Amino acid sequence: MAMKSGQRRGRLSWLLALLVISSASGALAAELPVYHLTIKDGTFEPAVIKVPAHTRFKLVISNQGPGPEEFESLELRKETVLAPGVTRTVVFAALRPGSYRFFGEFHPETAQGKIAVK
Amino acid sequence: MSNAIFIVWRESVEALLVIGILQVWLNNREQARMGLRFLWGGVAAGVGLALLLAFIMLRVQTELAGAALEYFQIGMMLVASALIIQMVFWMRRHGRTLKRKLEAGMEQASSRANWWAVAALATLAVGREGAETVIFLYGFGMSRTGLAQLQFFAATAAGLGLALCTYWLLSRGGRFFSCRTFFSCSEIVLLFLAAALLVDGVDRMIGLGWLPPLLDPVWDTSALLDDSSVAGSLVASLTGYRAHPALLVLLVYLAYWLLITVFLRHSRPSQRKTA
């Protein structure tokens, strides 16, 4: 009996975990505002991205090359490497108003940008 | 071009620190030599992991796969951090008694488990940063032609040379300084590295919205040392420094050092007793 209820509890927690995961991925797929960022020749376009405060959002980063780039920001807690021709989507947690800088690690002199949160 | 040299060096310095320190430690202990095989096996597996990850990063374009990759990276950071801490304390405990215990057959099982941990740590250390280096080299190598490509490969070779110099200095460090000085220094370096990995992992989880930042940011020290600058980001990846830390990150960092200090205090007297 004890084993059975233990098993049931085990199965239940698996179900719960699945639920949490699926709802999390559901939240991912939910319609978040989408912004685009293009990397070209070691520069970001646009250099300033305006987003609303306290809202989750998606940033679709595409690297048009030539050459790879690493989108990095310790302030925004993101780091992602993009080979030339690669597009990646990054989901950002809700941000407080302010200005958050990001840069391209492989072209730190020219690849500078920021996300302006209002 | 100096950019390429620096990036190759930077991406490899973390792995070099971990592997170099482990190698010196294992080399200096006759009974621990067996661990060297695991260390180099781990490095080889790490190169494989780096290539595999780089391949996935090149291919991954869908959002779901991108998210999975990010979760995997967070997992790698946290596991690497835990393995480093485990290794530091293992080295501390067994620094002097390993030989005797191995001879007495007391430590067979635990040291075998530890050799696997050595291998796993080497794999993660090389695989994690190595993937970025592979993409960097592949992407730039492809995008350049003729003389520029030659120059690029020269710069890459220089970066690798610089990395090997760092490694050489590190492994010679064991001879320049007394064993004791070298190991108390390397212990601190490793513990800071583990702290940096922990902070990075927690930070990424805040970035995903899994953990609450509590108060964000607590302060802004970017005027003092900007973590977006070249020097600042190097300091960040070696110590866990943040110019705009969230309160949660700060608490985790403080709790980490508090626990480590307690454990270090605790492990010292027992070392004396057995010595």
- Which CATH number goes with the domain that contains A40? 2.60.40.420
In the prediction, which pLDDT does A112 show? Answer: 93
- Residue with the two structure tokens 């790879």: A68
d(CA B123, CA B121): 5
What is the interface pTM, i.e. ipTM, of the complex?
0.80
Structure tokens at B183: 């190991």
- Cα four-point dihedral sign B232, B220, A110, A113: positive
pLDDT band at B191 (very low <50, low <70, confident <90, very high): very high
Q: Which tops the pLDDT comparison, B63 or B259?
A: B259
Among B63, B138, B207, beta carbon nearest to A83:
B138
Residue of A22, A32, A36, A77 to mutate, interface with B, max B Cβ within 10 Å: A77
Check whether residue A22 and residue A40 sit in a common domain.
Answer: no
Check whether residue A56 and residue A104 sit in a common domain.
Answer: yes
> Domain of A1?
1-30
B118-166 residue pLDDT tens: 999 999 999 998 998 999 888 887 777 788 888 888 888 898 888 888 8
Inform me whether the pLDDT recorded for B267 exceeds 80: no
Distance from CA of A7 to the nearest CA of B (A): 28
Task: Please report, rounded to a whole number, the percentage of residues in chain B having pLDDT higher than 90.
Answer: 43
Structure tokens at B163: 């990395």
pLDDT band at B272 (very low <50, low <70, confident <90, very high): very low
Does residue A64 belong to the interface with chain B, where contact is any CB pair within 8 Å? no
Helix (H, G, I), strand (E, B) or coil at B33: coil
In the prediction, which pLDDT does A19 show? Answer: 58
In the prediction, which pLDDT does B274 show? Answer: 43
In the prediction, which pLDDT does B269 show? Answer: 45
Q: Please answer whether residues B44 and B51 qualify as being in contact, where contact means their C-beta atoms are separated by less than 8 angstroms.
A: no
Among B57, B143, B244, beta carbon nearest to A81:
B57
Structure tokens at A49: 């991205």
- Cα four-point dihedral sign B137, B142, B148, B151: positive
Check whether residue A39 and residue A60 sit in a common domain.
Answer: yes
In the prediction, which pLDDT does B2 show? Answer: 66
In the prediction, which pLDDT does A24 show? Answer: 55
d(CA B137, CA B135): 6
Beta bridge partners of A91: A58
Check whether residue A97 and residue A47 sit in a common domain.
Answer: yes
Long-range contacts of A50-53 (CB under 8 A, 24+ apart): A50/A115, A50/A116, A50/A118, A51/A92, A51/A95, A51/A115, A51/A116, A51/A117, A51/A118, A52/A117, A52/A118, A53/A94, A53/A95, A53/A96, A53/A97, A53/A117, A53/A118
Which of 69-88 (B) contact A at CB < 8 A? 70
In the prediction, which pLDDT does B35 show? Answer: 87
Instruction: Provide CB contacts within 8 A for A11, sequence distance 6+.
Output: none
In the prediction, which pLDDT does B271 show? Answer: 46
- Which residues on B lie below 8 Å from A101 (Cβ)? 228
Check whether residue A2 and residue A43 sit in a common domain.
Answer: no
Give which of A54, A3, A24, A41 is closest to B210, Cα–Cα. A24
pLDDT-flagged residues of chain A (< 70): 1-30
Distance from CA of A18 to the nearest CA of B (A): 15
In the prediction, which pLDDT does A2 show? Answer: 47
Check whether residue A40 and residue A18 sit in a common domain.
Answer: no
pLDDT band at B106 (very low <50, low <70, confident <90, very high): low
Q: Please answer whether residues A108 and A69 qualify as being in contact, where contact means their C-beta atoms are separated by less than 8 angstroms.
A: no
Please tell me the total count of domains within chain A. 2
**Strands ordered across the beta sheet of A43-45:** A43-45, A34-40, A57-63, A87-92
DSSP-assigned letter for residue B96: T
Check whether residue A38 and residue A73 sit in a common domain.
Answer: yes
Residue type, A43: T
B17-36 residue pLDDT tens: 899 888 888 887 777 778 89
Check whether residue A86 and residue A98 sit in a common domain.
Answer: yes
Check whether residue A102 and residue A53 sit in a common domain.
Answer: yes
Check whether residue A56 and residue A80 sit in a common domain.
Answer: yes
For B219-229, what is the mean pLDDT?
90
For chain B, the average pLDDT equals 86
In the prediction, which pLDDT does A18 show? Answer: 58
Check whether residue A42 and residue A68 sit in a common domain.
Answer: yes
